[in-house]
Amino acid sequence: MPRGKFVNHKGRNRHFTNPEELEEQRRADEEKRRWRQQKGGDSSSEEEEEPPKKPSKAKQPSESESESESESSGSENEGKAKGVEALIEVENPNRVQKKTKKLSQLNNDLAQQSSKPELSRREREQLEKQRAYANYQKLHAAGKTDEARADLARLAIIKQQREEAAKRREDEKKQKEQAAQKKTEATQKALGKRT
């Protein structure tokens, strides 16, 4: 063993089974297998009945007895509930219990699912928003909403103001043209008198 700062304790307490014990165990397993084949190989009868055992060592019968006790106690645990388990029914929400369904029920379920798909809450809300927005746009275009009426009134006022501004500009243009024409006439008269 290495001495010093770093010591590995993993291999200190290893226990290896004797080859004789392994051979004995293999023979016992083989006898059990033969006995099961002679009995007919029923899986249900395997647990209930056990083959005859040969006590070869003092250690092995105690192991086989403990195995048979564990098998019998395991089957008893499934049948009987311990303590108040029989009185209290506990429903585990994480445990999925498979229920058998008939083929006709499965077909009906599939037909219902394919005809009407379930939407999530977010998808339903999004569809409702889209429908509401489309309806609002339709009413707005027809001028039936308050906002559309206000917009149309504002547009009418703006059109009227623009028309008035255009008339004013035209009047001012005509006045400038007339003033320019009068000026040119006046200059023409002045020039024409001199020559």
Q: State the DSSP string of 31-72.
A: HHHHHHHHHT--HHHHHHS-------SSHHHHHHHHHHHHHH
Summarised one tens digit per residue, pLDDT across range 71-117 is 444 444 455 667 777 777 777 778 777 778 788 888 887 777 666 66
In a domain, 107, yes or no: no
pTM: 0.31
115 touches 106 (CB < 8 A):
no
Please tell me which residue, 87 or 23, carries the higher pLDDT value. 23
Please tell me which residue, 69 or 11, carries the higher pLDDT value. 11
In a domain, 41, yes or no: no
Domain that holds residue 177: 122-194
Average pLDDT, the chain: 77
In a domain, 54, yes or no: no
128 phi and psi, to 5 degrees? -60, -40
In a domain, 75, yes or no: no
